[in-house]
Structure 1
């Protein structure tokens, strides 16, 4: 097995090499693990200690020798589930104290607060903005569903939709959806790409506006300002009224 497969689980290159070497050798000394992993002995000691702290290896002494054992892959699955649950608990606690932290934000002036994001992880973070604690109302969204699928994939989109529904956040969407693939509980207004091409993802919620470029470089921003958000809500609602009249 290629050690790089384990780096996707958050292990460093040396941690992955040492764990796999130990798994193949079974109960073994640090010298043999070091040779098998092709990592120098001193570094192997440090890496093993890190893996023990992560619950991925254990140690015991027999006679005067110290032996190290890799935990079974099955136990790793349980370990990562526990870590995921711990992350979820921390995320929920952060949601709880976020309003207090915002109140302490000395950088927040009377003018708009603008935050910029880049890359795939940045796009995930910016997409999560709709779940902020003070978003108790409706979210208004404009995007190309076809481009949204290209960016996140349908499975991830469904997970975000489920999370929105669990928080009882209603939504209205104006979208390009040429293949009619969007399945949602939200009110949807489909517009043709021929006359109304959409290449950005815009969401208006609470006192925030989220804008993500759906073409080219993955980048986006969040504008936090009540007046800007309210003005864009008004423009969105006017657009929806126009689309409703057209449909009627």
Structure 2
């Protein structure tokens, strides 16, 4: 369960300490730290952070266990709903902050930005980032290579997400790199497919937006690249239109 708490925003030690407080009955910091497998010194540091976040409370109790002016300090776990409140607060903050950060990023000048993303996770990141582009997509796809990396399940998720967002895709593919999966022209999937002339075989997959281009290699080279440049994207879009004009509509 501590892994889920980490995914929700706690660091691993905070998650283990919070679970220890939940499992014990009003433990001291030392008792909770021992249950979590930490030293007492680390326990006090973690308890302080959880107190600040409102995930635990500390009470002074006397020998009978009842509140007293002096005695030992015990911890009580707060309602886990505090995490939901944190998430709502963080989202509200980011909703206002992200547009400002994007505006700052967009005013950095016309200098292009290039990012190299390695491996299967990098290719998946590049693929789904294209869904953030507020424009129709042009694509030159190698189905054979996409089925290998990032794989059929990821591509199905991507298509579902693209359809949900209402983002249309015009795509050119090489017949030599086709597979049994299909991905035909489809009104439901808002996808228009053409096949490149036989002499043109594409193993790189390319997605072209208005201001950026995403490139994904085959498993052999195993990389993705994101190029954010209006001029480069326009050039690639023009080259795509030339290829589109000489390609054959899917039957």
TM-score, length-scaled by structure 1: 0.71
90-99 or 40-49, which moves further after superposition? 90-99
> Residues 122 and 87 from structure 1, CA distance in 2 versus in 1: closer, same or farther, beyond 3 angstroms?
farther
- Report the structure number with the largest CA radius of gyration: 2
Q: Note the residue ranges of structure 2 that are not aligned, 5 or more in a row.
A: 61-66
CA contact (8 A) 1:26 1:70 kept: no
Partner residue in 1 for 2:162: 161
2-structure distance, mates of 1:124, 1:25: 42
Label 1:50 to 1:82 Cα distance change in 2 as closer, same or farther (>3 A): closer
Deviations 1:55-100 (A, max 9, x none): 4323333323322122355x26xx2475167347626742455244
Q: 1:99-110 alignment to 2 at 5 Å?
A: 99-105=103-109, 108-109=110-111
**Bigger Cα displacement from structure 2, 26-35 vs 9-18:** 9-18
Question: How many angstroms apart in 1 are the aligned matches of 2:153 and 2:246?
Answer: 30
- CA positional deviation for 1:229: 1.9
Aligned counterparts of 1:88 and 1:118: Cα–Cα separation in 2? 33
Alignment of 1:169-248 (within 5 A): 169-175=167-173, 176=178, 178-180=180-182, 185-189=189-193, 199-216=203-220, 219-244=223-248, 247=250
Report the Cα offset of residue 187 of structure 1: 2.4
Tell me: CA distance 1:178–1:6, structure 2 relative to 1, closer, same or farther (3 Å): same
Q: How far apart are 1:4 and its partner, in Å?
A: 4.7
How many residues are paired up? Answer: 233
**Contact residue 149 and residue 157 of structure 1 kept, 8 A:** no
Match of 1:138 among 136, 139, 145: 136
Report the Cα distance in structure 2 between the residues aligned to 1:142 and 1:158, rounded to whole angstroms. Answer: 15
Residue 42 (1) aligns with residue 41 (2): yes
Q: 155-164 or 57-66: which moved more?
A: 155-164
- CA drift of 1:44 comes to 0.4
Q: Give the match for residue 94 of structure 1.
A: 98
Q: How much does 1:102 deviate?
A: 2.0
Q: Secondary structure at the match of 1:50?
A: helix
- For residues 120 and 67 of structure 1, what CA distance do their matches in structure 2 show? 48
1:177 and 1:191 in contact (8 A); partners too: no
Root mean square deviation, CA, Å: 3.8
Counterpart CA distance in 1 for 2:7 and 2:101 is 31
- Residue 204 of structure 1: how far off its partner (Å): 0.8
The structural deviation recorded for 1:40 is 0.7
- Residue in structure 1 matched with residue 64 of structure 2 by the alignment: none
Would you say the 8 A contact 1:177–1:190 is kept in 2? no
- Per the alignment, do residues 95 and 162 of structure 1 end up closer, same or farther by CA in structure 2, a change over 3 Å counting? farther
Partner of residue 20, structure 1: 19
Are the aligned partners of 1:21 and 1:37 in contact in 2 as well (CA < 8 Å)? Answer: yes
What CA distance in whole angstroms lies between the structure 1 residues aligned with 2:202 and 2:7? Answer: 34
Distance in 2, Cα, partners of 1:200 & 1:85: 42
CA distance in 2, matches of 1:5, 1:138: 36
Q: TM-score, normalised by structure 2?
A: 0.71
Alignment-derived partner of residue 117 in structure 1: 117
